[in-house]
Chain A
Amino acid sequence: MKQPAVGQSMDRVDGRLKVTGAARYFADHQLEGMLYAALVCSPVSSGRIAAIDAREALRAPGVTDVISHLNAPPVPGYKQETPNPKQGLKIFHDDRIYSNGQPVAIVVANTLERAVHAASLVKVTYNQETHATDLYANLDKAFQNKSMKDYLRGEPDAWKKAPVTVEAEYNIPLEVHNPMELAGITAHWETPDKLVLYAKTQGVKSVQQTLKNLFQLPEQNIVVHSLFVGGAFGMALRVWPMEVAAIIAAKKVRKPVKLVIGRKDMFTLVGYRPAAMQKIGIGATADGKLTGITHEAVAVTSPYEDFTEAIVGMSKFMYACPNVNTHYQLVPLNLSTPVWMRGPGEATGSFALESAIDELSYKLKMDPLQFRVINHADTDPEKNLPFSSKYLKEAYEMGAEKIGWKNRTMEPRQLQEDGWLVGYGMSSGVFSAGRGKATASAIFGADGTLTIRSAAADIGPGTATAMVQIAADATGIAPAKIRFLLGESEYPEAPRQGGSSTVSTVGSAVSDVCKLLLQKLGEMAAESMPAFKDVKPADIGYEDGQLIVTGKPAIRAGFREVLQHRQQPELQVTATSQGGEERRKYSMYSFSVHFAKVHVHPATGVVRIKHVVSVADSGTIVNAKTAGSQMIGGVVGGIGMALTEEALIDHRFGRFVNNNYADYHVPVHADTPPTDVLFINKKDPVINPMGSKGMGEIALIGFAAAVSNAVFNATGTRVRDLPITPDKLLPNVKG
C-alpha cells in the first residue's frame, strides 16, 4: 500500500496561483463595460435623511448615476410595511439612519477615482437624533431575546459559598476582522432577471439564497462566483447591505458595477466582534475542586438585528463543576450589526473564564495546569454525554513540556531575562466540532483524472488541498490527478465555510462521493468486463487505482480500463453526506491548549511574547502544513486580541476614530514570536469518515487569556480589559 495522502504536508494545490498573482479574487474580474461604484456614508449616527443633493456629483466627469432611497429601483424582498427594526438594514429603502457610516447613496462612474471623487460631492443633510454607542453608558438597555435562555445546573451562584472564590469583571473591546482583502462585490444583471456576481464570500450558496429572496428570482438565475477569498474570518458569512447597494446600482444603470469598499468602511459595513462586558464568579474547595461558576455577559448589537453568539457557552461544559449558571444579554447601540469573528463567542467567553481559572489558581496556590487537570470534564456535564474524543490532558502535557512550564514560578515577578520580567501563562480553548450537510459531484475521466465539485469556499485554510488529499485516499488515485473545484453557485450544495466545519462536512461528502464512484465503477465492471463476469459487485474492492476482487487476486482492472472498455469518456456521480444519530449520542468538541512565555518591560509596560506553544486536539490532521499555518494564523489573531486590537469610538459622534491600518493595530511580524504548533492527531472515531474535528476557531480561542495569565505571572498585575497595552502595566500608576 502507498502511504495515505491524508496526514502528508502536501503543498497547496493553488499555492503557485497565489504567489504568482494568477489567483483571481473578486475585485480582479474585469467585465465588459463595467462601471465603478463608491459609497456615500452617513457621518451622523442616528436620524433621518432630510435631503440629498446630487447635482454637483452628477455633473462631475464620468459619473453615470447617484442612487439612494430617493431613486433606487425597489427591492421586491423588502417588506413594504413600516420597517420593523429587527428585520435588518434595508439599504436605500427609506430615510432612516441607524449608525454612523451607514451608506446613504452609491455613486457610479466610469473609473474608480471619479466615483470616489463624485461621492465626496454628494451633499446630504440630516435630521439628527440622539444616538448611543457606549456599551457601559447604556447597560440599562440590556435585554434578552427568546433565543437567549439563562442556563442553570445545580444551584445558582453556588460559588459564593465556596471557601476560595474569585469574582471579577472582564472587558473586551469591539474588534474588527480587517483581513487584507477589502470587501465588495461586482454585480451584473445579464438580463432583467439574471444576476451574475463576483463576490467575496464564505458561501456562494448562501449568497444565492439571500438574493433569491430579496430579488425574488429563481435560484438558477443567480450565479455567484467566488474562487478566491483574501481572508474573511467570518465577515463574509452573510450578504451585507453594501453588496445589495451595488446590486441595486447595477440594476439601475444596466451595466456591471464593481464596488470595493475602503478600509475605513471595513469598520462599519461588514460586522465586527461585539464589545462585551463579562462577570465571572467562581469558587473552589481548598483542595481545588470547582464548586460553582456564574458567568454573565452583556454584548453590543445593532438597532435592527439581534446578534447572539456562544459567549457564555464554554463555562457550561469545560470543567466538571456541579453548579453553573449563565446569563447573557444584548445592548442595542447605534452601530452596524456584529458578525461572527474567528472563534465567535468562545473567544470572548474564554478570555473571562480562563482568566478567572488562573486567578483562582493563584488564590489556591496551585499550578493552574494542575488545577485544570483536577477539574477536567471526563464527560460533557452540560449535555450529559460522552465526548466523541477528547485528549485534552495529553495536550496539557505536550504543551507544558514544549514551553518549559517547569521554569514557571508560582509567585509572580520572580524571573528576569535581560532586564525584562518573565512570565508563563496558559489557557484552554474549545469549539464545537460540527458536521453539516454537503453534496459533491465527481467526474472520473477515461484519461484517469478525477474532478470533484462542491460549492464550498476557501477563505485561506487550503480547502481544495485537503479535499484532494481526502479524495486521493478514498480512491487510490494520485493527488496530482485530482482536482477539487469550489466557489461556484452552480456546483452541488455546500454550507458556508464557518464554524471550523469544512473539512468535516465537505470532506465527508468528498469521501462519500469517492466511495460511490468506486462502487459504480465496480458495478460497471461486473456488468460489462469479461474478467468480472462471475464477480458479485459486493466483492469488488480497490487498490492503487485498480478494482480488485476479494479472494481472487488474479482479477484486476484499472479504473480507466472500465471506462475504456465501454468506450465511455467519463463517469459522473453525486453524493450527499451528513452526520446521523451519533450527534445525539456524543458530545463533539475540538480542544486547544495555549502556552505563552512573555517578557514585560518593568519600566515601560511593554509586553513582548517570546514563545508560543499551541496544541490542538482536533482529530485526524489532514495536512500538517496547512493546519499548522492555520494554527499560527489563529495565534496571530490572538496576539492582536490580547495586546493590540481595539476599535475606538468617539461616543459624542458615534464614530470610529482609528479606522485605518495605521491606528487599528493588527500584529506585525515583530509582534509574532516563534510559535510551536503541536497536534494530538488522533482520529475521532465518531464524527466523520476522516475522524477530523475542526481547527480554525480553537487556534484563537483562549489565546488572549494565556497571554494575560502570563503577564500576571510576570508582573503581578492582572489586566482584565483587553488589549494589554503598555499604559495598563506601568508600575507607577494604578492599573
Chain B
Amino acid sequence: MNQFSYVRPASQKAAIDAIFRDNTARFIAGGTNLLDLMKNGVTAPEKLVDINRLPLKDIRFSNNILHLGATTINSEVAAHPLVKTHFPLLSQALLAGASQQLRNMATTGGNMMQRTRCSYFYDITMPCNKRSPGTGCGAIGGINRMHAIFGASDQCIAVHPSDMCIALAALDATVIVAGPKGGRRIPFADFHRLPGNTPEKDNNLGKGELITGVEIPANPFTRHVYYLKVRDRASYAFALVSVAAALDISGSTIRQARLALGGVAHKPWRLYEAEKMLTGKAPTEENFRIAATVATRSAATFQHNAFKVPMAQNSIITALSKAAAI
C-alpha cells in the first residue's frame, strides 16, 4: 500500500472540492472495499477524503419517497422499520450481503460504488482491462465460473457484486448526486454501466461527484417480494445468481412485476421483458417458467459458467413462487 494523506472535510462542498482538484483522491466511507483494493495495489489514492461526518445519515419517508443518506450503514437500513415495512425487498437484499460485521461498516453510497470481485481484477500480476486498460481480460479463457452471462464484452466479463443494488434496481430507485457543477439525479438503471470498450468505468458518476443519497418511490411491493441469493456457502459469499422479485397481485392477477438479477452482469440486470410478460397473468408456476425462459434468452456463457443459465431460470421461478407464496 502506498503512503496517503487523509482529510475529513467539514462540508459537502469541501469534500467535493478535495476530490475534484486532485486526481489521486478518493472518497472513503466504510472503507470495506476501498481498503482491500489499496492493500492489493489495485488502486493507490494519495489522498482519502472521509465523508462519514457529513450530514448524509438520514433515513426518512416523506412525500411517498424513501430517502436514504449516502453514509447510512447497510445494517441500519436493513433493520429500519420504514424499510422493513415499505421496502422489505431492500431489507432482504441487504441482509443477504456480506456479513453483519461488514454491514455495520458498509454504507449505501459505498455499496453502490463497490467494485467487481473478479479475481483477475484483484491480482495485479494478472491481465485485466478494468484495472489496467489494454492488458487483456484474464477471465476470458481463465477461471470464469463467477462471471457474466449477460451484457459482457470481449474486453470484460466481470460482474457487479452488490446485493443491495439488485433490489434498488428492481424498485426503480434514483441516485442523488452532488458535484462541482451542482446536483443531479440518476435513474438507477442508468447508474451502472455495461463494460463495452470502457470496462474501467463501472458507472456514470462524473469527476468529483459525490453520491448524497438514494430515493425509492413508494410502491405496492410490500407483501409479495423475495430476494433469493444462490451462493457457494450459506452466508458471507457473493452470489452465483441472485433474484430480486416483487409482485403486485390482485386476486389471481399480477398487476405489476419487478425482476432483477444479480451475479450475472456488469450491472444489476433488470428483466423488463419478463416483467411485461407477467403483467396481467396469473401467478402460476407455469407463467413463472415462461418468464424465466424469456428472461434468459440473451444469455451468453463462458467455459465455467454455463450453469448460471439454468440456475438463473430456476432461481427466477423459485423467487417468484416464494414472492407469490404459491
A15 proximal to B (CB < 8 A): no
Stretch at the interface among A250-258, A571-579, A580-588, A664-672: A664-672
Q: In whole Å, how far is A651's beta carbon from the nearest beta carbon of chain B?
A: 9
B126 proximal to A (CB < 8 A): yes
B307 — which chain A residues lie within 8 A by C-beta?
Answer: 727, 730, 733
A648 proximal to B (CB < 8 A): yes
Contact residues of B with A, CB < 8 Å?
1-3, 41, 99, 117, 119-120, 122-123, 125-126, 138, 141-143, 145, 228, 230-238, 240, 306-307, 310-311, 313-315, 317-318
A203 — which chain B residues lie within 8 A by C-beta?
Answer: none
B141 — which chain A residues lie within 8 A by C-beta?
Answer: 652
The answer to whether A644 touches B2 (Cβ under 8 A) is no
A180 — which chain B residues lie within 8 A by C-beta?
Answer: none
B99 — which chain A residues lie within 8 A by C-beta?
Answer: 668
A20 proximal to B (CB < 8 A): no
The answer to whether B234 touches A726 (Cβ under 8 A) is no
A657 — which chain B residues lie within 8 A by C-beta?
Answer: 119-120, 123, 142-143
A sample of 25 inter-chain contacts (CB < 8 A) reads: A117-B1, A120-B41, A601-B318, A603-B314, A603-B318, A604-B228, A604-B315, A650-B126, A650-B138, A650-B142, A652-B142, A653-B125, A653-B126, A655-B126, A662-B117, A667-B233, A668-B99, A668-B236, A669-B235, A670-B236, A726-B232, A727-B240, A727-B307, A730-B314, A731-B314
Q: List 17 other contacts, CB 8 Å, given A43-B125, A652-B142.
A: A120-B41, A604-B314, A605-B230, A644-B233, A652-B141, A655-B126, A657-B123, A660-B122, A662-B236, A662-B238, A665-B232, A668-B233, A668-B234, A668-B236, A670-B235, A671-B235, A732-B314
The answer to whether B123 touches A606 (Cβ under 8 A) is no
The answer to whether A671 touches B311 (Cβ under 8 A) is no
The answer to whether B233 touches A671 (Cβ under 8 A) is yes
B231 — which chain A residues lie within 8 A by C-beta?
Answer: 726
The answer to whether B310 touches A733 (Cβ under 8 A) is yes
The answer to whether A655 touches B123 (Cβ under 8 A) is yes
The answer to whether A604 touches B233 (Cβ under 8 A) is no
B313 — which chain A residues lie within 8 A by C-beta?
Answer: 732
Q: In whole Å, how far is A369's beta carbon from the nearest beta carbon of chain B?
A: 28
- In chain A, residues 566-618, which have Cβ atoms closer than 8 Å to a Cβ of chain B? 601, 603-606, 608
The answer to whether A604 touches B318 (Cβ under 8 A) is yes
B236 — which chain A residues lie within 8 A by C-beta?
Answer: 662, 668, 670
The answer to whether A726 touches B311 (Cβ under 8 A) is yes
A527 proximal to B (CB < 8 A): no
Closest 6 interchain pairs by CB?
A670-B234, A727-B307, A43-B125, A603-B314, A657-B119, A670-B235
Which chain B residue lies CB-closest to A100? Answer: B125
Which chain A residue lies CB-closest to B241? Answer: A604
A733 — which chain B residues lie within 8 A by C-beta?
Answer: 306-307, 310
B2 — which chain A residues lie within 8 A by C-beta?
Answer: 117
The answer to whether A727 touches B235 (Cβ under 8 A) is no
A668 — which chain B residues lie within 8 A by C-beta?
Answer: 99, 233-236
Docked CA distance A669–B123 (Å): 28
Which chain A residue lies CB-closest to B127? Answer: A653
A-B contact count (CB 8 A): 88
A113 proximal to B (CB < 8 A): yes
Which chain B residue lies CB-closest to A661? Answer: B236
Docked CA distance A663–B145 (Å): 12
Which of A117, A652, A658, A726 is within 8 Å of B230, CB to CB?
A726
Chain A 269-299, CB-CB to B under 8 Å as 1, else 0, gives 0000000000000000000000000000000
Docked CA distance A670–B100 (Å): 12
Chain A 623-667, CB-CB to B under 8 Å as 1, else 0, gives 000000000000000000001100010101101011010110101
- Given A43-B125, A671-B233, A732-B310, also A726-B240 (CB < 8 A): yes
- Given A117-B1, A652-B141, A663-B119, also A727-B311 (CB < 8 A): yes
A116 proximal to B (CB < 8 A): yes
Docked CA distance A650–B306 (Å): 18
Docked CA distance A699–B203 (Å): 49
Q: In whole Å, how far is A66's beta carbon from the nearest beta carbon of chain B?
A: 18
The answer to whether A730 touches B120 (Cβ under 8 A) is no
A663 — which chain B residues lie within 8 A by C-beta?
Answer: 117, 119
Chain A 717-735, CB-CB to B under 8 Å as 1, else 0, gives 0000000011100111100
B232 — which chain A residues lie within 8 A by C-beta?
Answer: 644, 665, 725-726
Q: In whole Å, how far is B261's beta carbon from the nearest beta carbon of chain A?
A: 13
Which of A117, A655, A658, A726 is within 8 Å of B3, CB to CB?
A117
The answer to whether B235 touches A658 (Cβ under 8 A) is no
Q: In whole Å, how far is B215's beta carbon from the nearest beta carbon of chain A?
A: 31
Q: In whole Å, how far is A180's beta carbon from the nearest beta carbon of chain B?
A: 14
Which chain A residue lies CB-closest to B315? Answer: A604
B120 — which chain A residues lie within 8 A by C-beta?
Answer: 657
B117 — which chain A residues lie within 8 A by C-beta?
Answer: 662-663
Q: In whole Å, how far is B238's beta carbon from the nearest beta carbon of chain A?
A: 8
A669 — which chain B residues lie within 8 A by C-beta?
Answer: 235
The answer to whether A603 touches B315 (Cβ under 8 A) is yes
Which chain A residue lies CB-closest to B237? Answer: A665
B314 — which chain A residues lie within 8 A by C-beta?
Answer: 603-604, 730-732
B119 — which chain A residues lie within 8 A by C-beta?
Answer: 657-658, 663
Q: In whole Å, how far is A414's beta carbon from the nearest beta carbon of chain B?
A: 21
Docked CA distance A671–B313 (Å): 25
A113 — which chain B residues lie within 8 A by C-beta?
Answer: 1
Chain A 336-348, CB-CB to B under 8 Å as 1, else 0, gives 0000000000000
Q: In whole Å, how far is A42's beta carbon from the nearest beta carbon of chain B?
A: 10
Docked CA distance A157–B275 (Å): 59
A655 — which chain B residues lie within 8 A by C-beta?
Answer: 123, 125-126
Docked CA distance A650–B234 (Å): 26
Docked CA distance A650–B3 (Å): 32
